[in-house]
């Protein structure tokens, strides 16, 4: 089983469970605990890359499903 699990939530954020490292555009890294942590998927959060719940108020609608990648 993977050390990190990412769940695509229906019409919402990515839920990330497990110890993760986030790196900003300047290369500064910080660790996040085992979570869950929620990452923005709609692009409208005022706290990117984290979800602030804005997807609910803008009616974000995404039917993305996780699919295997060949390679």
The residue extents of the domains of the chain are 5-51
* Burial call 18-57: b when 16+ CB within 10 Å, e when fewer: eebeeeeeeeeeeeeeeeebbbbbbeebeeeeebeebbee
Separation of alpha carbons 55 and 8, rounded Å: 14
55 and 44 in contact (C-beta within 8 Å)? Answer: yes
CA dihedral 6, 10, 50, 44 (to 10 degrees): 150
- For residue range 2-52, what is the model confidence (pLDDT) as tens digits? 699 999 999 999 999 999 999 999 999 999 988 899 999 999 999 999 999
Please tell me whether the overall predicted TM-score, pTM, comes out greater than 0.85 for this model: no
């Amino acid at each position: 089983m993977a050390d990190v699990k990412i769940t695509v939530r229906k019409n919402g954020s990515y839920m990330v469970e497990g110890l993760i490292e986030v790196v900003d555009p300047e290369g500064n890294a910080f660790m996040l605990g085992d979570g869950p942590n929620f990452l923005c998927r709609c692009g409208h959060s005022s706290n990117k890359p984290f979800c602030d719940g804005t997807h609910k108020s803008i009616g974000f609608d995404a039917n993305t499903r996780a699919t295997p990648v060949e390679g």
